Amino acid sequence: MTRRVAQDIGARRDELADLGKGFDYMATQLQSLVENQQHLMTLQQRLLHDVSHELRSLLTLARLEAGVSSDMDGFVDIRLLLQTLTASVEFEALALQRRIQFIHDLPDEGYLIPGNAELLYRALENLLRNAIHHTPPISMVLLRVLGYASPKVLKIYVEDQGTTSALRQTAIAMKVMV
């Protein structure tokens, strides 16, 4: 799409040269329109993502304020929750040319911790999506879980390259039942 005919016409100064210049001008204008359209589509996708993220956050907040999501006495398989979350945001990461890696020392049969699955999922989803959007393309976001062997503490880290190209790390420490 970047090829132009004027370079093939050379130094000609006739109707064909004028026609070639006209085609080159139209091709340049079309290329500019296509690039602008692609940029607008990217902005539209980003806006839709941001709006849906905010709506999910406001819905969760409204549920909490109304007392609807007050089931804090339940147990969550944190390994399954993190695997599901990683799979959920991986598509978005790949679309933005980023990768996600989930590293853990949790047992294969799962690992139960006390808490509300929906709230944990939303909080960790927020951290992961922010990391994806704030790390440069062709880099990796790490989701690490440490502390399975340590009694009563489980640490979840979300690591990205951030805007300064230095490793940024967000950690959440959770008390777990032994």
**Residue type at position 98:** R
Same domain as 76, residue 33: no
Question: Shortest CA distance to 73 belongs to which of 112, 111, 106, 109?
Answer: 112
| Whole-number pLDDT of residue 98 | 93
The band of 120, judged by pLDDT with boundaries at 50, 70 and 90, is confident
Segment 13-28, tens digit of pLDDT: 888 888 888 888 998 8
Considering 69, 86, 112, which residue would you say is the last residue of a domain? Answer: 69
Angle at 43 between CA 37 and CA 48, to 5 degrees: 125
| Number of domain units in the chain | 2
Instruction: Tell me how far CA of residue 10 lies from CA of 6, 16, 118, in angstroms.
Output: 7, 11, 67
Range of the domain at 25: 1-69
Segment 158-175, tens digit of pLDDT: 888 876 545 566 655 554
pTM for the structure as a whole: 0.60
Same domain as 81, residue 51: no
Same domain as 113, residue 157: yes
